[in-house]
Structure formats: structure tokens, C-alpha cells
């Protein structure tokens, strides 16, 4: 069937709509950790989020889309900043999060800080646009591609795709989607994948910023994909963030590393208004410190190096 479609003059490319999954991994057991210990990623020795906040950088009120499993809009640390979204799996407006992955990603992006409850995310004023492209941690390429278009058409200048197909081949569909998004002045960040091998779709797509995961020691998590296709690495092991029902909890994975880079990019765009895309990319690559693992393929995000 795909061969016949590909021979039609009106069809430029055809491929199966593969399943994709939320990029999560087991959370390491660290007995004795306090809640503060479990917020290690934002500490001065790692991302150093405090240095960015001291300069007033928090991404502003830009719209950031989370293509994920939905978001709990009633979570106390997210309430009031989650926009009405959509569901490209069920083709309706239901963006409730049934498994917590999307809410966890949203909390890393922008859980409110300095409010006396819970913890904090990177950007305290951004508006989060939930686009549900997965349920129970699984979805399809078709839903992700439609979700990307929906997000950009609804005003998202940044799209976080914490999902992965496990396919290392380049997808013409993700390539076209990335080119289209770029023409709309939108940015896409995606998780590199958790197979411990080469970067897979959609993070391996030219024009999409692929993110690997590192641990507290600054070394690649053994399950994180790596090498060509990774632009940056970020904390992705045992990360504390929001969960449905007003809760906080831990997740690991390149899914969890990606929103740190998305949030940092929001800050960078805020500090460099009107900068050409190539300039922003160059600055983003410089907002890193050397990795302890040469095979990682990129530096590790460091917010104190934001220009």
C-alpha cells in the first residue's frame, strides 16, 4: 500500500504512522534524600537556575506547547497558566493527564516558584499549551505531527516534544514539519530517546533540538541516546516535578531532560529579542559546560552561561 501511495504524483512521501512513547526511565533509589536534595537539577552546581532569575530571566509570557500526555491544569503550581489545548489522539479538547508524564514535563517548564508550595520550574510566567498526542505514555507519529501544527497555529513559539519513536532513520514528515515550524518562527525541542544508542525520531531531525540526559555526576545516563543529533544535555535522572492531583514526584528519562532545554531557550529568546535564528543557536550551544563523557556528543546546559 505504501509503495502504491509513493508512486502517486500527488504524494511526496509515505510512511507508517509509527508508535512513539514517553521517554521515561527508572528513578534511581537514593535513600535519605530530602525534598531539597531531590531538586538537585536547579542547584548552583548543576543548572544554576538562580543565576538566571537574578537577572530577571524567566521566559516572559510566551506560549510554550507541551506535546505530551496532557497536563493537570488544576495543579496548584500550574493553575492559571495552562491554556485550553487539544487532543490529536481522540480529536477532542480533553487534555487531562492520566499517567502524569505531561504534568511532570509541564512542571519542569514552568511550575510557579516563590509561592510557598511545592517546588519550582524554570520559567514562572510562561503560558503552557497542552496538546495531547499520547495517552498512557503511547501515541502515534500522525498525532504528534498534527499536534505540532496545532501548537504553532495556536501561538506557541516553543514546542517541547518529550516523546520518541525508537526509529533511527530520518523521517521526511518530521523534516517537513521542522521546516514549516521554522518558517513560522517556532522552535522545537525533543528528547533524544532512552535506548542507549543513536538518537532517534523526532530528535534526530535537522532543525529539531535533540536533548540527552545526564546524572548528578554530569555523566551520560546509561540509557540515554547520544552522539550525532544531540545539541545539548540536561539533568534527567531522578528529577522532581509536578504530578496530577496536586502532587510532586520523581521521573527519569530524556523526556525529563528536554523541558530544561526548552525553558532555557525561552530565557535565551527573552534576552535576545529579534536575534537571527543562527545567532540564537550559537548562543544556546555556548550555554553549556563540558561534559564528563566525550561520547555524549554535546555540552551540559548551564544557565549561568546565558548571555
Catalytic site includes residue 167: no
Catalytic site includes residue 92: no
Selecting from 2.30.30.100, 3.40.640.10, 3.40.50.200, 3.30.1330.10, what CATH number does the domain 35-305 have? 3.40.50.200
Q: Write down the domain spans for the chain.
A: 35-305
Catalytic site includes residue 101: yes
pLDDT tens for the chain, 307 residues long, are: 334 323 333 334 445 555 565 655 554 544 443 444 567 898 888 998 888 888 888 899 999 999 999 999 999 999 999 999 999 999 999 999 999 999 999 999 999 876 555 668 899 999 999 999 999 888 999 999 999 999 999 999 999 999 998 899 999 999 999 999 999 999 999 999 999 999 999 999 999 999 999 999 999 999 999 999 999 999 999 999 999 999 999 999 999 999 999 999 999 999 999 999 999 999 999 999 998 787 888 999 999 999 9
The pLDDT value recorded for residue 116 is 56
Catalytic residue among 20, 46, 101, 226: 101
Q: What is the pTM of this model?
A: 0.90
Q: What DSSP string describes the chain? A: -HHHHHHSTT-S------EEEE--BPPP--TT--TTGGGGGGSTTTT-HHHHHHTT-S-TT-EEEEEES---TT-TTTTTSBPP-EETTTTBS----SSSHHHHHHHHHH---SSSSS---S-SS-EEEEEE-EETTEEEHHHHHHHHHHHHHTT-SEEEE-EE----SPPHHHHHHHHHHHHTT-EEEEE--SSSSB--TTTTSTTSEEEEEE-TTSSB-TTS-BSTTEEEEEE-SSEEEEETTTEEEEEBSHHHHHHHHHHHHHHHHHHSTT--HHHHHHHHHHSEE--S-GGG-SEEE-GGG--
Catalytic residue among 165, 255, 271, 293: 255
Catalytic residue among 23, 58, 68, 141: 68
Amino acid at each position: 500500500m505504501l509503495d502504491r501511495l509513493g508512486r502517486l504524483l500527488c504524494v511526496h512521501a509515505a510512511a507508517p504512522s509509527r508508535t512513539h512513547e514517553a521517554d521515561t526511565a527508572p528513578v534511581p533509589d537514593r535513600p535519605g534524600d530530602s525534598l531539597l536534595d531531590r531538586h538537585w537539577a536547579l542547584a548552583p552546581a548543576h543548572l544554576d537556575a538562580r543565576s538566571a532569575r537574578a537577572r530577571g530571566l524567566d521566559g516572559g509570557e510566551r506560549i510554550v506547547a507541551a506535546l505530551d500526555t496532557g497536563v493537570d491544569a488544576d495543579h496548584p503550581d500550574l493553575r492559571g497558566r495552562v491554556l485550553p489545548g487539544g487532543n490529536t489522539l481522540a480529536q477532542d479538547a480533553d487534555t487531562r493527564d492520566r499517567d502524569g508524564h505531561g504534568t511532570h514535563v509541564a512542571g519542569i517548564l514552568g511550575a510557579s516558584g516563590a509561592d510557598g508550595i511545592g517546588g519550582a520550574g524554570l520559567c514562572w510566567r510562561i503560558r503552557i499549551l497542552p496538546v495531547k498526542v499520547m495517552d498512557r505514555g503511547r501515541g502515534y507519529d500522525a498525532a504528534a505531527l498534527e499536534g505540532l501544527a496545532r501548537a504553532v497555529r495556536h501561538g506557541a513559539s516553543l514546542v517541547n516534544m518529550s516523546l520518541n519513536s525508537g526509529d533511527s532513520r530520518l523521517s521526511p514528515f518530521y523534516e517537513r514539519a521542522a521546516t514549516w515550524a521554522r518558517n513560522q518562527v517556532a522552535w522545537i525541542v525533543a528528547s533524544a530517546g532512552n535506548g542507549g544508542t543513536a538518537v532517534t525520531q523526532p530528535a534526530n531531525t535537522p532543525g529539531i533540538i535533540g536533548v540527552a540526559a545526564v546524572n548528578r555526576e554530569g555523566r551520560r545516563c546509561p540509557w540515554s541516546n547520544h552522539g550525532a543529533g544531540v545539541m545539548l544535555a540536561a539533568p534527567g535522572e531522578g528529577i522532581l516535578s509536578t504530578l496530577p492531583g496536586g502532587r510532586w514526584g520523581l521521573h527519569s528519562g530524556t523526556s525529563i531532560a528536554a523541558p530544561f532545554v526548552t525553558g532555557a531557550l525561552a530565557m535565551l529568546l527573552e534576552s535576545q529579542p529579534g536575534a537571527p535564528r543562527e545567532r540564537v543557536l550559537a548562543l544556546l550551544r555556548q550555554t553549556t559546560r563540558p561534559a564528563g563523557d566525550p561520547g555524549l556528543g554535546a555540552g551540559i546546559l548551564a544557565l549561568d552561561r546565558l548571555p
